[in-house]
Chain A
């Protein structure tokens, strides 16, 4: 059900771990729904993301999207990182099964949450960044059978 790229990022996740004294940390998702992502950002004085690490509790797609998201933001400026959308993450993974699309949303949200934390810590405003939702499942409605 997963593409080769998803399986690769699940089996060999890039940038797993924590960053001590990170510039920004964001945690999104909820354990009730079975996925939580935490992103750590190390941002230099020029606003460039030097490093990004993650920890994820979740399914194969949740791990793979976190891993891919870290790869996509490392080396980018804050504004460029904001352009890393869930679509970009999905495309980079050659797609996700429909039921797993929310994992890519979670990855996007995790980056935003970490950037939000960075902005809060430094008392700055990042153009185009809104306060992230703590739970991406808030608006989702489950489909009924029958």
Chain B
């Protein structure tokens, strides 16, 4: 693909960094041996996997044997929920999560409910931050797991993870966090934050797709996800995705090295977008918290228009973005996250998510705001809702 477009969908996926591709290549072409084999080509692959595991562990303050490589964020989330409830069935059948989790958590919870488990979905305030008092009230003697995401994928809100970790610990309940959007984007310390399990995904921080990891604190009982070989300490059988593992570790290394620098750069871009859109587009609202949000995330709702139309028109101008409208979710309902923060359906349909990377430029942001202004005005000129609004307000 030529760089003739403005990519503002980095929460969906990111470009694989050239250094990551470079680090992976020898494991396709030279050290392609099976890490379980005894000869040199296998041994060097095994060494690479071990090094990668150590590196990932070091970014979290964890131990290498607490890192399990997975096929991505959804796999980690599924694994945690399904295998923990099974392992801790003797304690109870109750799980607590939030109303704004990714579908990898929510749909798995719904699946477990059908299997006879009980799930409490704790609400969030209008900024999308979990209600801690409600969370604490939901804890019962038979609660086995609290799963709350580190940062939300749609509105970028960062959750009070440290407080939740402390609360879970005080009540003797396991705490898992889906850190797919947060890992390698902000500092995480599993010990200081009392995180028992954490899932992450490589392609959200310039690593390859199809690789992720799950951190499982030593001592936690969790059933094996895949039975077979001894890989991943017997908990996830199958020959290791060596190239992916090398890639995710390289991406993590690069990301963590330059965390602050990158955050600063992204914030400059998102501040520009937020400030100009808020000031220059009437009848809009910023979704999520202004401060406690991922540095790369912008999410606006524009009244009287629908998100898919907005996305197609942005695409025609070469701008890649995403929306929480029903039409982009394949159902009739708009984003559950936008509904959970209290937006009415018709306003939730008109949302736009722009997620930047440090490769974006201010000039691109300028073009994006100009395009958004023009398109929102055009769509409003054809909107019966806007027509009604103008009539009612003279």
Contacts and interface: CB of A to CB of B under 8 A. Distances in A.
B384 A60 contact: no
A51 B312 CA distance: 28
B112 to A, nearest CB: 12
A34 B312 contact: no
B332 A38 contact: no
Interface stretch (A9-17, A69-77, A82-90): A9-17
B285 interface: no
A99 B349 CA distance: 16
Interface residues of A, number: 30
B227 interface: no
A31 B387 contact: no
Interface of A: 7, 10-11, 13, 16, 18, 27, 31-38, 54-60, 62-63, 99, 137, 140, 142, 145-146
A56 B309 CA distance: 11
B381 A57 contact: no
Chain A interface mostly: mixed
A59 B331 contact: no
Given A7-B312, A58-B306, 4 more contacts: A33-B345, A58-B327, A62-B309, A63-B382
Nearest to A54: B382
A35 B306 contact: yes
B190 to A, nearest CB: 32
A60 B309 contact: yes
24 contacts: A11-B316, A16-B382, A31-B345, A31-B349, A32-B345, A33-B326, A34-B325, A34-B332, A34-B349, A55-B382, A55-B383, A56-B382, A56-B383, A56-B384, A57-B306, A57-B386, A58-B309, A58-B327, A59-B309, A60-B312, A62-B306, A140-B332, A142-B331, A145-B107
Interface in B124-145: none
Residue among A38, A57, A137 with the highest chain B CB neighbour number at 10 A = A57
Nearest to A16: B382
Interface string B364-394: 0000000000000000011111110000000
Contact of B325 (A7, A55, A59, A140): A59
B346 interface: yes
A141 B259 CA distance: 47
A33 B346 CA distance: 8
A63 B312 CA distance: 12
B384 A55 contact: yes
Contact of A33 (B308, B313, B332, B384): B332
A55 to B, nearest CB: 4
A54 B387 CA distance: 11
Contacts of B304: 57
Kindly list the 4 A-B residue pairs having the minimum CB-CB distance in the complex, ordered from nearest: A31-B346, A59-B308, A59-B327, A38-B384
B326 A34 contact: yes
Contacts of B385: 31, 36, 57
Nearest to B316: A11
Contacts of B5: none
B334 interface: yes
A61 to B, nearest CB: 8
A37 B326 contact: no
Given A34-B334, A34-B349, A13 B327 contact: no
A28 to B, nearest CB: 10
A52 B312 CA distance: 25
Contacts of A99: 327, 330
B56 interface: no
B309 A10 contact: yes
Nearest to B330: A99
Residue among A18, A36, A58, A62 with the highest chain B CB neighbour number at 10 A = A58
A12 to B, nearest CB: 11
A57 B305 contact: yes
Nearest to A140: B332
A85 to B, nearest CB: 22
Nearest to B345: A32
Contacts of A145: 107
A59 B381 contact: no
Contacts of B344: 31
A32 B325 CA distance: 11
Interface in B173-192: none
A73 B184 CA distance: 57
A34 B306 contact: yes
Residue among B305, B332, B387 with the highest chain A CB neighbour number at 10 A = B332
A37 B384 CA distance: 7
Contacts of B316: 11
Residue among B304, B306, B346 with the highest chain A CB neighbour number at 10 A = B306
